[in-house]
Amino acid sequence: MNAQVSGGSTSRRAILLRILGLVIATTAIVICVRTLVLEWPAVSTALYGAEPGWIVVGFACAAVGMWFLALLWQQTLRVFDTPVGLLTATAWFFAGELGKYLPGGIWPVVGRGELARRGGVDRSIGYSTTLLSTGLMCIGGAIACALFLPFAGAAGLATGWGLSVLLIIPVGLAVVHPAIFGPILSLVDRVSKGRIRLKAPRWGQMIGLICVSVPTWLLIGAATAMVTQGLGFEQQPGRIAFAAVCAWVVGLLAIPVPAGAGIRELVFVLLSGLAGGPAVAVAAVCRIMFVAIDAVGGTASLLWLRVTRKPTPAEIGAADNADT
């Protein structure tokens, strides 16, 4: 009876969390759309006169940046003694990323974790490394913001809440130290009743993983600056890049919101230094660009996994019985 009550309570919390995420996303999207509508005359002129060359190069940078996140996950698996080929890990990553557009925030973890499990990776490793790589991404994003900051500051970025993302760096580096990360993993072991039993890697290994994620953010920042240039809006590229990466990190931390919808755009509008309409236009074009990357990468990965999938022993046995 107690188990049923506990399960019902957990289910209600999950539903409330999803509703909260959708409310936040809807509010942010409404604000962005309203801004875009109010400034549509100037924005439509910019879109009509856009330079496609900048957009194409930005798309290429963004695609390579997303691939670095697949590399990060593959290297995280390796650090936890689960070597997986880079091509396979890349396919699992992009196929799993399709789940981030569903409400709830957990579906990329479920998708990637289950694909890894079907590929022979222990379920606890697949799920744990997916969550861990997301946390490492956020630390890497904060480091990229710090690298962009001198250029963003030169363009007049006001000190304030936007700089709070930099606090992730010392906190994150401390958390991944074995002295802290080890007890955290021990607690996870106890709470999961031994189903998730991981050993804390060396601090140098964790810092190395964080460094693998930094190129992603440098490329995403550069891609956003290129889109801004392609649309003909004037702003210092460093500030645009800082705002873009900061917006991504905040979007990742907004777990209940599907793919950070609306949150990324709103944060970018507030930090980019562009007028509201142009900022929303840049954010919208970038959102479409990343959705296209996820769609193409995810679809291609699913097809590749289907073509290269090896039959299970049960399927082989069923085929043999059918032949006889």
Residue type, 108: P
pLDDT at 26: 54
Residue type, 238: G
pLDDT at 38: 56
Instruction: List all residues 6 or more positions away from 97 whose beta carbon is below 8 Å from its beta carbon.
Output: 66, 108, 111, 112, 294, 297, 298
Q: Decide: 226 and 241 in contact? Cβ < 8 Å.
A: no
Complete DSSP assignment for 50-64 = --HHHHHHHHHHHHH
pLDDT at 8: 53
Sign of the torsion formed by the C-alpha atoms of 148, 48, 64 and 254: positive
Residue 295 lies in a domain: yes
What pTM was computed for the model? Answer: 0.78
Residue 1 lies in a domain: no
> What is d(CA 322, CA 302) in angstroms, rounded to the nearest whole number?
28
Residue 253's domain comprises 17-309
pLDDT at 168: 93
Residue 317 lies in a domain: no
Q: Would you give per-residue pLDDT tens digits along the chain (324 residues)?
A: 444 444 455 566 555 545 554 554 455 445 445 544 555 555 566 566 678 889 899 999 999 999 999 999 999 999 998 899 999 999 999 888 877 666 555 666 677 777 888 888 888 888 888 889 989 999 999 999 999 988 776 555 554 666 788 899 999 999 999 999 999 989 888 888 878 888 889 999 999 999 999 999 999 999 999 999 988 888 888 899 999 999 889 888 765 555 455 677 788 888 888 887 888 888 888 888 887 888 888 888 888 888 886 654 444 444 444 445
Within a 10 A sphere around the Cβ of 17, how many other Cβ atoms?
Answer: 16
Residue 5 lies in a domain: no
Dihedral angle over CA of 71, 77, 83, 87, nearest 10: -30
Number of domain units in the chain: 1
Residue 7 lies in a domain: no
pLDDT at 117: 82
pLDDT at 294: 82
Q: Is 312 helix (H, G, I), strand (E, B) or coil?
A: coil
Residue 8 lies in a domain: no
Residue 268 lies in a domain: yes
Residue 245 lies in a domain: yes
Within a 10 A sphere around the Cβ of 150, how many other Cβ atoms?
Answer: 10
Please provide residue 177's backbone torsions phi and psi, each rounded to the nearest 5 degrees.
-70, 140
Q: Decide: 177 and 153 in contact? Cβ < 8 Å.
A: no
